[in-house]
Amino acid sequence: MRLVPNQDPNKIAKLFKEYVSSLAPDTVEIEVKEHHGGYPIVIDLDYYGLKAAAKAFEDVYQKEVLFSREGGSIPIVADFKKVLGVNSILMGFGLTKDALHSPNESFSLKDFQRGIKTSARFFEILPDFVE
């Protein structure tokens, strides 16, 4: 499940188990296995690292960046914020048509190469954005 800010993964897992169990007839046995309990996090759009990443994308792709909330299961990102007090920047280069994590997953060489250029550009301009 993709959680949103202020949701506790343990509470959500418990509620999900209870709900699914409540739907099952007496003749059905339900077992719900938890894989991990990552907390949600949202990075502030004013964070200097995010601004540098956006500029790097714009420089390479020659398009204005459009921000949208995307889900991802990388629990360490919330831990970095909670324990270390630092933000993370995750830069995705895959497209919807790539069908990530599916049997027909793909990733074009063109996007791979643009990803390299964008990452290099990000590290080149990041010092200019540090507050």
Number of structural domains (the chain) is 2
Token duo for residue 105: 């997953």
72 and 117, same domain (yes or no): yes
pTM more than 0.85: no
In this predicted model, what pLDDT tens digit does every residue of 7-18 receive, in sequence order? 999 999 999 999
Instruction: Please give the residue range of the domain that contains residue 66.
Output: 42-129
Using CA atoms, how far apart are residues 128 and 131, in angstroms rounded to an integer? Answer: 9
Let me know whether 76 and 98 are in one domain.
yes
Q: What pLDDT, on a 0 to 100 scale, did the predictor assign at position 5?
A: 85
Residues whose CB is less than 8 angstroms from the CB of residue 81 and which lie 6 or more positions away in sequence, other chains included: 41, 87, 88
Same-domain check for residues 46 and 85: yes
- Which segments of the chain have a pLDDT < 50? none
